[in-house]
Amino acid sequence: MGRAAIISEQERDVAGDGAQLSESVFDEVVKTLLTHFGDDWIRNKAANRAFMVGTVSLLRDADGIHLIGEPEVEHFSHDFNVWLDFAVDDLMVADDVAYSIFARFAEDIFVSTRVLEDHGVRYRFLTGSVLDGHLGSIHLTGTHAVEFVNMHRLRTVKGLHFNA
């Protein structure tokens, strides 16, 4: 089996009970898809412009979240910073917010991974069809997102979960 098909024991330990696709495996999946479809798959300017306009529109219309500024585009990666208006006390709630967004723009191919960062939760994604693809991230940020990450880190120490 290839590297992308195997999640190491160390990666499982880091993920804990809420196993997620590690960033290294996500990167391997992206690399595999780019090898298959070619690097130009994510470089279609017209398709990326349409993707960006559609995603910005749906983020601006969504309840409970707000797009912060304009999306950042670097190396054909579309990065959306989103402010959460409500408290998040569970990882599944954060995932639900992200996946309710993804559900609106995901295409035939979709893969994502969650990364807890100091300023919130980043969901890296790759979506597309056989014609074109879109790489990027949705970064849930703001006071509530940062508070959630800090509490989640406190509850999850060395794979052990503590509930207050």
Of the listed ranges 32-36, 82-86, 101-105, 158-162, the least confidently predicted one is 158-162
pTM score > 0.85 for this model? no
Four-way CATH pick for 38-158: 1.20.58, 1.10.3210, 3.30.460, 1.20.5:
3.30.460
The residues spanned by each domain of the chain are 38-158
Closest Cα to residue 103, out of 70, 79, 125, 76? 125
User: For residue 135, what pLDDT band results from cuts at 50, 70 and 90?
Assistant: very high
What is the predicted pLDDT for the residue at 157?
66
pLDDT of 50-94, one tens digit each?
999 999 999 999 889 999 999 999 989 999 999 999 999 888 999
pLDDT in tens, 114-129: 999 999 999 999 999 9
* E strands, 2-108, in order: 65-67, 72-74, 77-84
What's the rounded Cα separation, in Å, for the pair 106 and 84? Answer: 21
pLDDT > 60? residue 12 = no
